């Protein structure tokens, strides 16, 4: 597999995961072929806005993609997959959010 054909690793963070010491941020900084769905403003945290942000991030990537989702990012990834037909090379869905328990 040539470098050009390697999948892009796209991080799909949870609601509070865009911080320097988060494992997704650290992993992204170590992988030359990694990117992240950008954070949204607090008033744009709706499911639809987050699914649209994931779709926009994917639209910028040519070739195979592996999604790495954490917490609420898992839920967004599942919602995106139900609405779109783009093929994904793989997905790591880590620690899905507990939507039954209020956030601290």
Residue 84 lies in a domain: yes
Q: Is residue 79 part of a domain?
A: yes
In a domain, 92, yes or no: yes
The string over 16-43, giving b where at least 16 C-beta atoms fall within 10 Å of a residue's C-beta and e elsewhere, is ebbeeebebeeebeeeeebbbbeeeeee
Q: How many domains is the chain built from?
A: 1
pLDDT digits (tens, 9 = 90+) for 23-44: 899 999 999 999 999 988 766 6
48 lies in some domain: yes
pLDDT per residue, tens digit, the chain (104 aa), is 455 679 999 999 988 767 888 889 999 999 999 999 998 876 667 889 999 999 999 999 999 999 999 999 999 999 999 999 999 999 999 999 887 877 66
**pLDDT score of 41:** 75
69 in a structural domain: yes
Residues 6+ apart with CB under 8 A from 4: 63
pLDDT of residue 1: 45
Whether 103 maps to a domain, the answer reads no
Examine residue 35 and state whether it is found in any structural domain, yes or no. yes
Task: Report the CATH number that the domain containing residue 37 is assigned in CATH.
Answer: 3.40.50.1820
Range of the domain at 74: 3-96
DSSP 10-22: EEE--TT--STTS
| Three-class secondary structure of residue 36 per DSSP | strand
**Residue 102: inside a domain:** no
């Amino acid at each position: 597999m040539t470098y050009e054909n390697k999948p892009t690793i796209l991080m799909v963070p949870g609601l509070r995961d865009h911080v320097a010491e988060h494992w997704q941020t650290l992993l992204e900084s170590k992988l030359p072929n990694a990117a992240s769905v950008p954070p949204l403003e607090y008033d744009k945290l709706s499911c639809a806005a987050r699914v649209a942000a994931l779709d926009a991030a994917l639209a910028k990537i040519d070739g195979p993609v592996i999604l790495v989702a954490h917490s609420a990012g898992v839920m967004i990834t599942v919602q995106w997959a139900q609405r779109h037909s783009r093929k994904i090379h793989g997905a790591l869905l880590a620690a899905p959010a507990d939507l039954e328990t209020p956030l601290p």
